[in-house]
A and B are shown apart, each in its own frame.
Chain A
Amino acid sequence: MSLLTNVMDHSLDEGYAEAAAARGGDGPYRIPGTARGLLTLGAGLALVGAVLTVGAVNAHEAEPTLAKERDALIHRINDSNGSADQLQKQVQELRRRVDSTQQQALAPGEVDPAVLAGAVGLAEVTGPGVKLVLEDATGTGAGGNVDPRSGQGFSNSGRLRDRDLQLVVNGLWSSGAEAVAINGQRLTALSAIRAAGEAVLVDNRPLVPPYTVQALGNGPKLVGAFESAMAGQYLRLLQEKYGIKSTISAQKSLTLPAAVGVTLRTAQPALPEPSPTASPPASGEASPSAGPSGSASPSTGGTASPSGTTSPSAKPTGQASGKRSPSPSAKTTTGRPPTATTGSPSAATGAARP
């Protein structure tokens, strides 16, 4: 405090008092009388004025510089945004051209690639269907928001296993489902339902219970077929014996997302046969028809054939054909047949075998 008091008390330079004392007490002395004193005062004040002005000018100069820099940054942001918009437009335009080229490349009788994309899971599909919710038995420590990785594992029989889920999905396919997604993961021909450690994985993504299986198809019919088939009985057995709850309900409108990361690296599309009417053979694993024979039925033309009892593919006129985003993926046009009806429908999920 003494420091502050000292500053407060001696606010005036002590040189003034000393100079006054040295001069003697001959009255107040305000303005220097001599010309030299006046000049010194003037020079000092000029210096003070110059310092103050330079400081003020400097501060005001720095301001526009900052504003200029900000303006430049804003300009660059706007420029980048503009070019990004332009690129986006270009992408859309190119997609449109790809789509139209696809349309032109296809013979008139063949199926729209967008439909195919929906059928193989590369495009969003919407339509009526069923929603099946499977919940682990209560008390298994794997309720709603428990990390499946930290659960007690499948040793606890109250938990749904990957095999159960495979059976359910196969049952849905065989009951007439045209597109299936588990917890928002769309099943494609490359999908696998498996267990890793203590988690059920779909397409290498761990699922968190409750498991919601959505399937597109004729809702009530699908429910009936599923309930009476083996999978439905199996679910009832699970409920009775292990307390695994399952609720199935027909839905008026479901939207299944597109699958991501379906990339063929080694499989090459087989060349289509020269005959314009015959369908080319299936092209390996990207086709949902990768059945036991490995090839699709060549007998089907432009429409999904009902030759199989069930069709895992969304028919162009089927329930799953409501709203399809056109897929830019070229994979769907690589000489594969428009339909994929033969073979076991349960093979459509690839590894989905108990």
Chain B
Amino acid sequence: MIAVLGLVIGVVVGLFVQPEVPDAVVPYLPIAVVAALDAVFGGVRAMLDGIFNDKVFIVSFLSNVVVAALIVFLGDQLGVGSQLSTGVVVVLGIRIFSNAAAIRRHVFRA
């Protein structure tokens, strides 16, 4: 219940407050989105596995976003930003896919 409420509040805040994303942060926004999706899928899978922990969830989400942004920032400074973003997206995408597969096994038992 409160989970859905939190999600709705977040969406509403994002939609109506329309925070001005600083130009310096814009390149990391796609990475942050992918990290957020990874955290959500991981949390859902943990819930279905019966090992969910809210602290782990929020810490993993924040650290994923920060680490992914840091990697891309470092890559930008070294001139390999786009390659490192691709790497981050690939790793997080694989995680999202396998988590989604685990969720599917839980839900459909197949």
Contacts and interface: CB of A to CB of B under 8 A. Distances in A.
A13 B50 contact: no
A50 B94 contact: no
Interface string A12-33: 1101111110010001111110
B99 A49 contact: no
Interface stretch (A34-42, A93-101, A193-201, A270-278): A34-42
A15 B59 contact: yes
Interface stretch (A52-60, A79-87, A145-153): A52-60
A46 B9 contact: yes
B6 A49 contact: yes
A12 B46 contact: yes
A74 interface: no
Contacts of B5: 42
Contacts of A105: none
**Which residue, B14, B30, B45, B102, has most C-beta atoms of chain A within 10 A?**
B14
A46 B46 contact: no
Interface string B1-41: 01101111111011100110100001001101100110110
B54 A53 contact: no
Nearest to B58: A44
Contact of A28 (B2, B13, B50, B62): B50
A16 B52 CA distance: 6
B50 A50 contact: no
Contact of A49 (B7, B19, B26, B48): B7
**Which residue, B13, B43, B51, B65, has most C-beta atoms of chain A within 10 A?**
B51
A29 B52 contact: yes
Contacts of A11: 42, 45, 94-95, 97-99, 102
B109 interface: no
Contacts of A37: 54-55
Contacts of B39: 44, 48
A1 interface: no
B53 interface: yes
Contact of A55 (B7, B29, B91, B94): B29
Nearest to A15: B56
A90 to B, nearest CB: 46
Nearest to A34: B54
B61 A17 contact: no
By Cβ-Cβ distance, the 9 closest A-B pairs, closest first, are: A49-B10, A53-B14, A28-B50, A42-B6, A45-B6, A46-B10, A11-B98, A20-B51, A44-B58
Interface of B: 2-3, 5-11, 13-15, 18-19, 21, 26, 29-30, 32-33, 36-37, 39-40, 42-43, 45-62, 65, 91, 94-95, 97-99, 102
Given A44-B58, A53-B11, 5 more contacts: A17-B51, A29-B53, A42-B3, A46-B6, A51-B65
24 contacts: A7-B95, A11-B97, A13-B42, A16-B46, A16-B52, A16-B53, A29-B51, A29-B53, A30-B50, A31-B3, A31-B52, A32-B52, A37-B54, A38-B2, A41-B6, A41-B57, A42-B2, A46-B6, A47-B10, A49-B7, A50-B14, A51-B10, A55-B30, A55-B32
